[in-house]
Structure 1
Amino acid sequence: MRHIAVIGAGVTGITTAYALLERGYAVTVFDRQRYAAMDTSFANGGQLSASNAEVWNGWSTILKGMKWMMTRSAPLLVNPKPSWHKLSWMAEFIAAIPHYERNTIETTRLAILARDHLFAMAKREHIDFDAVSRGILHIYRDKAGFDHADKVNGLLRQGGLERRAVSPDEIRSIEPTIHGSYFGGFYTASDTTGDIHKFTTGLAKACVRQGARIVYDADVDRVAADASGVTIQWSPASAIGIEPKVIETVQADGVVICAGVGSRAIAASLGDRVNIYPVKGYSITVQLDDEVSRRAAPTVSLLDDATKIVTSRLGDNRFRVAGTAEFNGYNRDIRADRIKPLVDWTRQLFPAIDTEKVVPWAGLRPMLPDMLPRVGAGRRPGVFYNTGHGHLGWTLSAATAQIVAETIATQMPVEGLLAAA
């Protein structure tokens, strides 16, 4: 049986492992955390949102980044301190602007494809992840935002998505709890929400039941590949600072890099350029402990275009509010000045929600300059990538896992090893 290693136990790595197991491979997953889904797959906005497939590549994004550079609470915040990594990423981001329409359409198609795969996995493995299928409502505070969304709608339709315009009265009909004045909105009935952490941990357990080995607390020190196979060298993460350092080695026929923001360094060691930049996002989880808060919290998922804030209702007792994009290197600090706008937004739009119990979180989105994930083979034999999904990892991962697994099945078929034996 062919053996494939997967680096990363977030939603991308675990869905990849599951897709490989379905095709008959032996699978070993490595992750530096003690459990699955403890980094960027821990507490995102919760949206499985084909309606949010518009890529960011545009001069308007550049201008907003420059305008907001000194506003600490801005939806998009860029640390002005230069680095070669940041500058090269931004240059490639600008170079991808001419492909904005094509990439938005492709992302939409991937997102729609991913839905079926993800819900099929959850149904087959009996995973409860607080899934809600009430659609996603995009709200716009002025005509300019609404008009831009109308243009985007044409691209989403080309990708196969149906999203309809709604009036201010329809906004309140779809989500009666919302406060404020809005020019209009767009509603996507087919979009859904769910808890990424619950899904990923549930699928990780399913992988183990099917024979996968998941090595947690593992710092991958080296990945090497040649015609004879792949070598993974790792050391226990919990043993950092303890001498002598224990190095363990695992041999495999192939490897899939699903390491989020860590993918860039691993790819460089294998001779591949995967120019991922870490773009920090924040979220809060509001505990709805009283009946008044539960009634006051929305049940339909929202995206507020002006503030770039998204919401999801996770079961009866949790309300997730997420947003912002921060270009600040590999900094994982949870900043109070970035959390406060999320709390203030909740109080303004849903004033009856009690925000006494709020759990803040921050994660690093692995973003490539053209906003499309890197999915497929690397330069060296047996090396594959499924990484760089940016803010749509939850939305796209179930599709890209199938794509990379099928690529491996074509290049390294299980039956090929049996025939050679």
Structure 2
Amino acid sequence: MAHLIVIGGGITGVTSAYALARQGHQVTLIERHRYAGMETSHANGGQLSASNAEVWTHPSTLLKGLKWMFKADAPLLVNPKPSWHKLSWFAEFVASIPKYRSNTVATTRLAIAAREHLFGWAQAEGIDFDLKQQGILHIYRDRAGFEHAGEVSKLLAEGGLPRRAVTPDEMRAIEPTLQGDYFGGYYTESDSTGDIHKFTHGLGQACARLGVKLMTGQTVARVQSNGRTAQVTLADGQVVNADAVVISAGVHSRALGAQLGDRLNVYPVKGYSITVMLGDEQSQTAAPQVSLLDDETKLVTSRLGVERFRVAGTAEFNGINLDIRADRIRPLVDWVNQCFPGVSTRRVEPWAGLRPMMPNMMPRVGAGRRANVFYNTGHGHLGWTLSAITAHQLGEHVAQWERLRAPRMLPVAVTA
């Protein structure tokens, strides 16, 4: 079996290493932080949401972006300062609009397929990640949003995902703690939530048990390949050699891919979250159990155990920038105060992460220009949801490469 280097210890890198190790490969995982899952896989919204498979390449996204460009607390915020990377990304985004329907259906199918692998791995390895299988409720405040959701539901159904429309009364029955006036909602019973960091950390430990060499606290300075061998040079001068390399480095995949002769137009789309600490019984009772997605504000929620309530969302196009802005966090806190007034927001942990997003909203999984270079990156807003299936797909690409590189057995002449 081959020796592969996986660069990146987020959810896609760790699932990649785990899937490859299960196939019997020798795997070295390189992560620049001391622990796995410390960047974008640290405090996201927590949803495992096939119901959120709608890609963003819809004309309405452009209209909203223009409308909100100069509104600091807008759900979608684009820094108007131009850069070639940003301009090229948006040009390809617009070019992908005709594939909105087919890509939404394809993403739905991937999200459904991912469940079997992710839940199976968690059970096999005994990973506790605050899994809550109580569905996801999408909430709508007006007719226009609700009717658009109806059209999206048709695409989700085409991809194999059933979800049902619910009235405001049914919404209150599904999640009694939710306050406010709503036009209606859509409920997907098969969706779930969990703590991505706990899962990534637990699967990283499982990787170590399978023999994966974990090189944490190491920054990659250079990656090279001649098509037969791969070489990674670390910032401290160490050199790691292997048969092949897998790039799963999130928003940093673009720069690493360029070193290998591949163009990955991954853009860092910042998202924010708050983790509300439910330190008293009243807050624990007033916080929702069912996961929510508020389409108007683009916020999602998850209940992580008894004492934590996660609210996440927004999209900010501002390059590689992890600054936590107060004017972007405040709307999340205000939303909790409005929708769940019984929850104390006295203790709130803010966070920001960079989604690695391709212009067509589809992950980049497969081989690069060189035969022994592979990618599993660019998952955008669904990295947690899609990670297990794309790791499985990566394993299939590597298996195909191994079959092609294996020396052909030559016939042996038999003499009397």
Per the normalisation by structure 2, the TM-score is: 0.97
Deviation at 1:228, TM superposition (A): 3.0
- Aligned counterpart, 1:241: none
Cα RMSD after superposing both structures: 1.3
Q: Which amino acid aligns with 1:295?
A: T
Q: Which amino acid aligns with 1:105?
A: V
Contact 2:136 2:293 in 1 (8 A): yes
| Aligned mates of 2:286, 2:405 — CA distance in 1 | 56
- Change over 3 Å in CA distance of 1:9–1:413 after alignment to 2: farther
- Aligned counterpart, 2:248: 258
Does 2:54 correspond to 1:54? yes
Does 2:302 correspond to 1:312? yes
Q: Which amino acid aligns with 1:270?
A: L
Contact 2:227 2:373 in 1 (8 A): no
| Aligned mates of 1:96, 1:212 — CA distance in 2 | 38
Deviation at 1:58, TM superposition (A): 1.4
- Aligned counterpart, 2:205: 205
Residues 180-221 of structure 1: per-residue CA shift (max 9 Å, x gap):
000000000000000000000000000001100111111111
Moved more, 406-415 or 10-19: 406-415
- Change over 3 Å in CA distance of 1:359–1:414 after alignment to 2: farther
- Aligned counterpart, 2:187: 187
- Change over 3 Å in CA distance of 1:414–1:286 after alignment to 2: farther
Deviation at 1:123, TM superposition (A): 0.1
Q: Which of residues 376, 383, 386 is equivalent to 1:393?
A: 383
- Aligned counterpart, 1:127: 127
Q: Which amino acid aligns with 1:159?
A: G
| Aligned mates of 1:212, 1:413 — CA distance in 2 | 22
- Aligned counterpart, 1:342: 332
Aligned residue for 1:351, secondary structure, equals: coil
Deviation at 1:227, TM superposition (A): 3.4
- Change over 3 Å in CA distance of 1:177–1:418 after alignment to 2: farther
| Aligned mates of 2:242, 2:153 — CA distance in 1 | 45
Moved more, 309-318 or 218-227: 218-227
| Aligned mates of 1:404, 1:384 — CA distance in 2 | 8
| Aligned mates of 1:165, 1:197 — CA distance in 2 | 32
* Structure 1 segment 76-155 matched on structure 2, within 5 A: 76-155=76-155
Residues 283-330 of structure 1: per-residue CA shift (max 9 Å, x gap):
000000100000000000000000000000000000000010000010
Deviation at 1:104, TM superposition (A): 0.1
Contact 1:225 1:381 in 2 (8 A): no
Does 2:9 correspond to 1:9? yes
Aligned residue for 2:219, secondary structure, equals: strand
- Aligned counterpart, 1:159: 159
- Change over 3 Å in CA distance of 1:254–1:417 after alignment to 2: farther
- Change over 3 Å in CA distance of 1:226–1:355 after alignment to 2: same
Q: Which amino acid aligns with 1:299?
A: Q
Deviation at 1:412, TM superposition (A): 1.5
Q: Which amino acid aligns with 2:376?
A: N
* Structure 1 segment 210-249 matched on structure 2, within 5 A: 210-235=210-235, 246-249=236-239
Contact 1:25 1:414 in 2 (8 A): no
| Aligned mates of 1:144, 1:79 — CA distance in 2 | 28
| Aligned mates of 2:377, 2:189 — CA distance in 1 | 28
- Aligned counterpart, 2:356: 366
| Aligned mates of 1:11, 1:82 — CA distance in 2 | 31
Aligned residues: 410
Residues 151-195 of structure 1: per-residue CA shift (max 9 Å, x gap):
000000000000000000000000000000000000000000000
Deviation at 1:2, TM superposition (A): 1.4
Moved more, 192-201 or 57-66: 57-66
Q: Percent identity?
A: 64
- In structure 1, the gaps of 5 or more residues are 236-245
Per the normalisation by structure 1, the TM-score is: 0.96
- Aligned counterpart, 2:414: none
Aligned residue for 1:4, secondary structure, equals: strand
* Structure 1 segment 293-308 matched on structure 2, within 5 A: 293-308=283-298
- Aligned counterpart, 2:63: 63
| Aligned mates of 1:318, 1:418 — CA distance in 2 | 56
